[in-house]
Each structure stands twice: as structure tokens, then as C-alpha cells.
Homo-oligomer: A and B are copies of this chain.
Amino acid sequence: MKLYDLELSGNCYKVRLFASLADIPLTITPVDFMQGEHKEKHILELNPWGEIPILQDGKVVLRDAQAILVYLASKFGGEAWWPSEPHLKADVMQWLSVASNEIQHGPNTARLIEKFNIPSDMALCVERSERILELIDNHLSTHDWLAAGRPTIADCAVYPYVSVAHEGNISMLQYANISAWMNRVEQLPGYVSMPGN
């Protein structure tokens, strides 16, 4: 099973983190993002979005980190990481949406601006980041894990860009509950870190 990967991408790291936690073997295929390889024909044939990560498992080809997490958890990860009970599954799903929406367009984009000089509206990213980080911090004041009362793919989808938010000049000092939760994630058996973390 092949992961088209960029070491510095938080979206790719979501997949590497979960695969390591759930002991799912992946063959890592680095994509040369700086040389624009993700916009070349062989990648666009796998993913017309021209983005990584991409997972290839035989004939199955998937884009989008959240979808790859759902696939890996459904096929290999079992009940622990992606619950079958509808209300728990939907609880996890709420956080997969947060990863695609508020995190992607908040801390993730702030980091793209600061670390990779991608042009975007920094003031808007800071405002969005502060809003979602406060919501997450409040949630974690009464929960050890984001969803379902245990570590799930929700944590794997949200942790990466929160853990490197400082690289987008987002101050994390006031979020004590997020800090404690990040420590819990980092104590999970099989945890792997991301460069810059």
C-alpha cells in the first residue's frame, strides 16, 4: 500500500501518524513538492486535484487525508479508531469536518503563509485560528479526546496542524487543555512526530 507523501505536509502526516498508531504498513513514495511534481501528469492521473497525500492500495486510489483515514480505519483499524455506532461515528465525523474546514482555512493556511510564502489573508487566518482553537480548548476542558471518549481518527485529523500552528505564528500559550491533549496524543503507543513539531 503506497502513500504519495510530502514530509512537511500536515495532511500527509495525518496518514503517517494514524498508520503508525494502528500499525498499518505503508510504503512511502516522496513527491517533490518544491519542484511541482504534484502538478505533473503521473500525479494528476491519480488525483486531478494535484494534491497530496494520495493512497494507492491495489486498484483503490484515494485523495484527501480525511477520506484516507476513513479507508484505513474501516479496512484495517477496527472499531477502536472509527466507531460503528452511528452517534459515535458522527461524533468523529464532526471533527473530520473541522479538519477540512476550520483547521485547513485557519492554522494550516497561516503556516502556508509564514513557512512557504503562499499568498493569503493572514489577518483572516489568525481570526479563524483563534476562534477554532478556543472552541477546541473549551471542548477539551471536559473531554480527554476529541470524540467518542477515546483516541480516534478525529485526533489524527486535528492534531497535525494544531501541533505546528506555532509555525504559522499562531500563539498557543493560552490553550492549556489543547496542550494537555497534545501530550496525551504524544504518549500513545506508536506515536510518530512531524518535522518542525
Contacts and interface: CB of A to CB of B under 8 A. Distances in A.
A71 interface: yes
Contacts of A86: 70-71, 74-75
Interface residues of A, number: 33
What's the number of copies of this chain in the assembled complex? 2
Contacts of A87: 57, 60, 62, 71, 75
Interface stretch (A97-105, A110-118, A177-185): A97-105
Contact of A90 (B68, B98, B100, B135): B68
Contacts of A124: 121
Contacts of A70: 86, 89-90, 93
Given A100-B100, A101-B100, A94 B139 contact: no
A152 interface: no
A67 interface: yes
Contacts of A39: none
A48 interface: yes
A62 B138 contact: no
The 10 closest A-B pairs by CB, nearest first: A71-B90, A74-B86, A100-B100, A67-B93, A75-B86, A67-B94, A100-B101, A97-B100, A70-B93, A60-B87
